[in-house]
Amino acid sequence: MAARNKARKRAFQILFEAEQRGAAPKTVMADWIRLARTDDRQPPVTEYTMQLVEGYAAHAARIDELLAGHSVGWTLDRMPAVDRNVLRLGTYELIWEDDVPDAVVVDEAVQLAKEFSTDESPSFVNGLLGRLLELKPTLGR
């Protein structure tokens, strides 16, 4: 598994855990970093994972606004938690991480949805991120 692929997976897991615990993503990430220092079974938190989690945290309100405004027939609250967090991570990377090709961002998000969510989720994630990709030049950061 490529390094960035692992970093995205860890970032997704941190965002998901943060939502489930009702904690800030940076707090959960700090917990993961602390555990990785003392338990070799805990996966490491790489620089790119930290960049993704911190980037999401910095833009969380705007990301949720974009997702809520462009998902057809789904409110954020109605989305499965896995899909919501995959989309949050993908939206952050799509809009704010210029060094990653857009197609890679969408593909990686779809792969996370395939691995962790329902059979319908990959097409939902692909469709919503595709819509945001089309609108990217007009969205503004």
Q: How far apart are CA 41 and CA 113, in angstroms?
A: 24
What is the model's pLDDT at position 135? 92
The letter for the amino acid at 89 is L
**Which residue is it, tokens 């961002």?**
105
Contact 63, 92 (CB under 8 A): yes
Contact 136, 102 (CB under 8 A): yes
Give 10-residue mean pLDDT values along the chain (141 residues).
89 98 98 93 92 98 96 90 98 95 97 96 97 90 64
Q: How far apart are CA 94 and CA 98, in angstroms?
A: 8
Question: DSSP secondary structure string, the chain?
Answer: --HHHHHHHHHHHHHHHHHHHT--HHHHHHHHHHHHHH-TTSPP--HHHHHHHHHHHHHHHHHHHHHHHH-SS--TTTS-HHHHHHHHHHHHHHHH-TTS-HHHHHHHHHHHHHHHS-SSHHHHHHHHHHHHHHHHHHH--
What is the model's pLDDT at position 110? 98
What is the model's pLDDT at position 139? 84
